[in-house]
Amino acid sequence: MNWSAFSLTSGILTFTALALIAANADAAGLYKQREQYTQARHALAVGDVKDFEYLASQLTDYPLYPYLQYEQLRRRISTAPEKDIRAFLDNYSYIPAASRIRQAWLTELMKRGQHSKFEQYYERGSNVAHHCFYLQARMKAGDAPDAIEEIKAFWLVGTSQPNQCDPLFSWLEKQGYMDDELIWQRIDLAMAKRDVKLAKYLAGKLSTQQVHWFALLNSVHRDPQKILTDPDLKKDHPLARKVIAYGARRWARKDITAATNAWQKLSGQYQFTEQQRIHTQTDMALTAALRHHPLAPELMAQLPADIEDAEVQQWRARAAMRANDWPAVLRSIVLMDLETKQQLEWKYWRARALEEMGIHADAKFIYQKIAQERDYYGFLAADRVQQPYEMNDKPLQFTDFEIARVLESPPLIRTRELLEAGQTWHAYNEWKSLTAGFDNKKLQIAAYIAHKWDWYHTAIFTVARAKHYDDLQLRFPQPYDDIVAKNAKRFSLTPEYVYGVMRQESAMNSIAKSHAGARGLMQLMPGTANDVAKQLKIKSPNSTALLQPKVNVQLGSKYLRLMLDRYDNKQVLATASYNAGPHRVKR
């Protein structure tokens, strides 16, 4: 990628805009600085500090000079003098990487147990360990009572918290705030997350007379049918109700019919709160609906008509659909909240219900209206009234001046240089920081620029943030067309299908890596890629090769073909298998 290539492909970005960029740096000088920047990073990586410092001294006016200082300081964060940390944070706070130095320094101070110093540098972020340590510092300073609600908020989660939070919880306990009710609240959260190990640990903090009830809860967790037989659950007691309601919900995941019968029997024998009844019945009804159980329509119908849970509202309609109860579908849609019923999905199903009930004129009117939208349900509606699909493509257009004003922004210049240097992670952080304060118009211009840089996934996400969905070239780019066309033809696929998978899997990001380990444009797992490579009788790719579009698209297209063959060319099943694995689709 280079500036000249950008000028050739942009169409709109003319010499006037380029002149503004050229005023900041001579093209030849910039190229030399890029080379020196790469050399400096290499010198630092191999430990050649002298060469690094020499090269860095030549780059003080280069946009990425702060990143060289970042790289050097990051490597010696545990030994660096505090004055170096302070100087960096003071001088380069404008780059997103500064927050990483701050976080690393806070972790170092936390390891040293330096509460007072930690408090001086702390800024609220998403790091729970840091915030708990900060609250410890406040406790030492004597203002802990002000932090009670914050400490409770860290307590009331269904997962384990960092060790730094333990002193806060101990303080709550010593001050008398850690009562059985607060402990049970967290036990309930842990059991909802199926973290039984944490729940058992928490149960050890309960008062003696309460421990027995947790033992019952744990026993019912293993065998929900005990809600009918355990003698300790025969008497009405607040904790007996908690155990029974939990057991009924858990039982429903194994046997909906038996659990429903048990709940109907027990719900009249105990003084359950209204909240407990609705929670349990809602959970059981959703379980039945999600599993397409015949009882689902009945269980959904038993829920309050004015229930505000949007998920329940929608599954109540879906359960009625599966039962072909179209009047119930229509009633369910009428009962939805305004935001939900205005979605094209539910407008379509309202029309479908009317059609099935013989009210054709009203159904046709709704179909014709939503058929004007470029949307899955718009296309379905168009099919019902035999209209062509509406694509509504409205390309964005900007003046040279509008584009140039965004391009000359220092963060965008740094972003471009970071992309040139292959530091895409830092580039994206610069981009996020810059565009966070953009209005929709500037976001649209930024998306246009990212697209012209071939930074497709960033363009896709940025134009979505701008709430402009009608520039189809920006939202659905078709890069690597030669590679896609070649492999689509080779494996009897349509290019559109391959692009569809690429768009959904990676948003056209050739170096995408998922948390599960999938890589590249078509998000292939290394094991899958190796299996497919063997079938093609080619060399198995390593993790780097799998990020290359030529390799990734070839293996991904072949795997897609294998899934289509497995499922008799049924695209829904094949695509689901491609994404989640054949074993899940089979199940």
Measure the CA–CA gap between 529 and 507, rounded to whole angstroms: 20
Q: How crowded is residue 520: how many other Cβ atoms within 10 Å of its Cβ?
A: 27
In order of 31, 416, 520, the CA distances from 28 in angstroms are 5, 16, 33
Measure the CA–CA gap between 587 and 79, rounded to whole angstroms: 54
CB 76, CB 48: distance < 8 Å: no
Q: Which of 68, 118, 121 is nearest to 92 (CA)?
A: 68
Residue 71 known to be catalytic: no
CB 177, CB 188: distance < 8 Å: no
Enter the DSSP assignment of 541.
Answer: P
Measure the CA–CA gap between 584 and 518, rounded to whole angstroms: 17
Measure the CA–CA gap between 340 and 312, rounded to whole angstroms: 11
Packing angle, helices 166-174 and 128-140, rounded to 10: 40
In order of 170, 174, 221, 576, the CA distances from 206 in angstroms are 14, 14, 19, 46
* Half-sphere exposure of residue 283: CA atoms within 13 angstroms, side-chain side: 18
Catalytic position from the list 71, 417, 420, 505: 505
Q: Where are the alpha helices (DSSP H) in 23-95?
A: 27-45, 49-57, 65-75, 82-91
Angle, vertex CA 348, rays to CA 344 and CA 354, nearest 5:
145
Q: Which of 502, 504, 523 is nearest to 512 (CA)?
A: 523
Q: Active-site residue numbers?
A: 505
